[in-house]
C-alpha cells in the first residue's frame, strides 16, 4: 500500500504485521494523517532477513523509516511522530506542565504496564521479586494506571495525545486478553479512544491485512 505523498514530507515507511504491537503505530500514523508506505512482514522469515535486520536488529516489528532515519520501539515511534508533526497537536507543548504528565504515562505503559501484563500472561510470579522488577506488583500497576486515565477524558486532560494512543491500546488488549481487570474507568477510557475516526480507520486497515 502506498498513498500519495505531500511534497514537503519525507517518506514514511511503516514495517508491520497486523498480529503485533504494530497496530499501535498504525493508529498513531492515522492520527498524524500523513502519507506512508506499508511493508508487511510475516513471521516465517521476513523479519529475520539481512535486509530487515539492518532496520531492526531484533528482527521485530513495528519500525518506521522516515527519510534516512529508522525508529523502533512502539512508544518511541509514537513520541517521535508526535514531535515531527507538531501541527497535529498530539503532544503537549514543550513548555506546558502537561508535557511531564505526557512523558510519565507514555513510558509508564512502555515499562511497568508492559512488564505486568507480560508477567500475568506468562504466569510469572512478581510478588517474590518486587524489589527487583521495575513494575512492582500487578495490583499497584493497576492502581497507578487507573489514576492516569481518571483525571479527564484523556491523559493530558482535554488534549488527546500520543500517550493516549499507546496507553489506550495496552488497556484495550489487557482487558481483551484478561491481563487487566475490566474496571469502569478503563472501559470508559478505551471507549473514548476507540470512537476516534483514526482508530477506526487503522483497525479496518489492519483487520483487512489479517484476512490476507
Q: What is the mean pLDDT of the chain?
A: 92
pLDDT at 1 over 70: no
pLDDT over 70 for what percent of the chain?
Answer: 95
What's the whole-number mean pLDDT along residues 156-183? 96
What's the whole-number mean pLDDT along residues 180-186? 95
Residue 193: pLDDT band (50, 70, 90) is very high
Can you give the pLDDT at residue 7? 35
Q: pTM for the complete prediction? A: 0.92
Give the whole-angstrom CA distance, residue 196 versus residue 79.
19
What's the whole-number mean pLDDT along residues 170-195? 96
Give me the domains of the chain, ranges plus CATH numbers.
Answer: 12-89 (3.40.30.10), 98-197 (1.20.1050.10)
What's the whole-number mean pLDDT along residues 183-204? 97
Q: Which helix (H) or strand (E) holds 74?
A: helix 74-84
Residues 6+ apart with CB under 8 A from 198: 27, 30, 31, 33
What's the whole-number mean pLDDT along residues 170-197? 96
Can you give the pLDDT at residue 75? 98
Can you give the pLDDT at residue 120? 87
pLDDT at 134 over 80: no
pLDDT at 72 over 80: yes
Write phi, then psi, for 200 (nearest 5 degrees). Answer: -70, -40
Can you give the pLDDT at residue 6? 44
pLDDT at 4 over 80: no
Other Cβ atoms less than 10 A from the Cβ of 123: the count is 6
Can you give the pLDDT at residue 137? 84
Can you give the pLDDT at residue 3? 42
Tell me the pLDDT tens digit for each residue of 81-100.
999 999 999 999 999 999 99
- Find the angle CA(25)-CA(88)-CA(114) to the nearest 5 degrees: 30
Amino acid at each position: 500500500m502506498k498513498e500519495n505523498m505531500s511534497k514537503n514530507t519525507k517518506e514514511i515507511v511503516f514495517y508491520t504485521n497486523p498480529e503485533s504491537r504494530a497496530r499501535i503505530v498504525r493508529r498513531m500514523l492515522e492520527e498524524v494523517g500523513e502519507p506512508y508506505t506499508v511493508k508487511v512482514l510475516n513471521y516465517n522469515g521476513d523479519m529475520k532477513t539481512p535486509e530487515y535486520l539492518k532496520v531492526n536488529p531484533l528482527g521485530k516489528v513495528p519500525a518506521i523509516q522516515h527519510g534516512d532515519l529508522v525508529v523502533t520501539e512502539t512508544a518511541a515511534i509514537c513520541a517521535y511522530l508526535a514531535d515531527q508533526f507538531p501541527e497535529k497537536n498530539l503532544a503537549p507543548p514543550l513548555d506546558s506542565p502537561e508535557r511531564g504528565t505526557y512523558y510519565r504515562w507514555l513510558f509508564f505503559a512502555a515499562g511497568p504496564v508492559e512488564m505486568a501484563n507480560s508477567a500475568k500472561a506468562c504466569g510469572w510470579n512478581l510478588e517474590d521479586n518486587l524489589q527487583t522488577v521495575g513494575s512492582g506488583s500487578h495490583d499497584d500497576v493497576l492502581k497507578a494506571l487507573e489514576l492516569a486515565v481518571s483525571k479527564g477524558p484523556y491523559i493530558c486532560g482535554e488534549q488527546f495525545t500520543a500517550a493516549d494512543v499507546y496507553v489506550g491500546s495496552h488497556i484495550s488488549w489487557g482487558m481483551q486478553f484478561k491481563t487487566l481487570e475490566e474496571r469502569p474507568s478503563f472501559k470508559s477510557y478505551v471507549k473514548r479512544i476507540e470512537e476516534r475516526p483514526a482508530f477506526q480507520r487503522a483497525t479496518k486497515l489492519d483487520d483487512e491485512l489479517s484476512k490476507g
